[in-house]
Structure 1
Amino acid sequence: MISQHAASAADAVPLEFINGIPFLNVSVGATSSRMMFDSGGRLGISVPAETITKSGSVQVLEEKKKFKDLQGNAYETPRVIAGKVVIGSTMLAPVQGQVHMQWGGAPEGPEAELTKARAGGAIGLEAFANFPLMFDYKQRTLSILDASGVIELRQPKWRALDLKYGNEGPVVTLQVEGKQLKFVLDTGAQVNVIRFGAACDTNQACELRDMSGALNLSMRIHRIKLDGAPFDGVLGAPFFRSHRVVFDVKGGKLYVSPV
């Protein structure tokens, strides 16, 4: 077993995809279940009540967590501290999170399987604060990188972007039609979206570039209302399918390599 506080070997964990959204096996105390990996928002872990009861390692706090969805709807749920959380062979430090609650989705039709799977809870970047994480959708893996893996990111095939991490989750600033716009990187989003009127008033591919202009991330993007959101768009499944992506939250960097 690898401790989060120790130097570790790279740990590659299989990903399962449902409608473009990644899921992985997460052990919490005495339980093991499939959870969605949700990088959007400042999420540590979202644990269903049944898992809390069976795990024997989750403490429910009196304090509530309040948050909003993209439409501005407000929610609140009790905070938790989850101990003995294991991903692959890596034991994480105690993870702050919340009692899982679910909204959206559909019990029937094309979204039914995803809606059912999302009931199992979610884990996010906050749980891995000490580790760089690489998502490789083509290989269907999430890799917890060690020091040698981080050194590999210096190779020319990787581009490094400045990464900000706040309540909205991981954010990068990109150039779009001469404007500097903020995008949240969200593994839980099935499509890329941009705020109505911000840029790319077209159904064609939208030209997105890093601040140096050298990295071209152009792709299809949907225009939606993002009233009140502190960002201009979201990069979801299409972005992750076309690039290997490394989040280094501690180092403040996002590394991108086209597939």
Structure 2
Amino acid sequence: MNRSVLATLGLLAAAAMTAGCGGAAAEQPAAAENKPTVVLVHGAFADSSSWNGVIKILEDGGYPVIAAANPLRGLQADADYVRSVLDSVSGPVVLAGHSYGGSVMSIAADGQPNVKALVYVASFILEQGESTGELAGKFPGAQLGPALRTVKYPLPDGGMADDLYIRSGEFRRVFAADVPADVAALMAATQRPIAAAALEDPATKTAWKAIPSWNLVTLKDLAIPADSMRFMGERANAHNVEIDASHAVTVSQPAAVADLIDTAAGASTT
């Protein structure tokens, strides 16, 4: 075997090793120097891909990023899952949640010493004993409720429970009004339902009482009224930032979301 063939085989082997390392990095991002890991928690009627634009900007800025797959089955169970993700990360974490994802992360981050900042994005910031559904209706202007449809699903014990979806014809108007129509249509088709019980479950922990928080208020939001977000942010003593955006701000304005996460990360490491 001549030297050129051997050299080629060596390059192929090195490429294979690099590809293998890349796969591992997707599961547990390598910590960048002086950069915390950003853990993202999506809300109801969405999945981790709703963070794609934000992820690209953060990764281009040197942040390791994990987008957790929020189960959307029950507030405590969802929080337990996100907590297991946090437990898998070594080093400091900035935790960001969208919508119901904020309800989840306030519980998941409680008592987690590696979580240095919380970023609520068009989100819920619950006090102990409050439910997501309760806060959604605290101020006038929410139009999500009438746009929902219910689908029954079987439970392991033989009972039935309710899954909630946004009606396809209403999805863009109430959830993603500033997202291009073709993108909003895909989001509607791929939306993940939330168990109705998850929106009724009361919060048991309030991590925002111990961890510095930032709160992105979306002024054109028809799912959570801006007044509700302001109320929750002020109560949590969060750094409030307001933006003209729909509820789907992670899709429509990812740069603004990434910028707030970067601000929180910078403040948490100084």
Q: Which has the higher helix share?
A: 2
TM-score, normalising length: structure 2: 0.27
Question: Whose radius of gyration is greater, 1 or 2?
Answer: 2
TM-score, normalising length: structure 1: 0.28
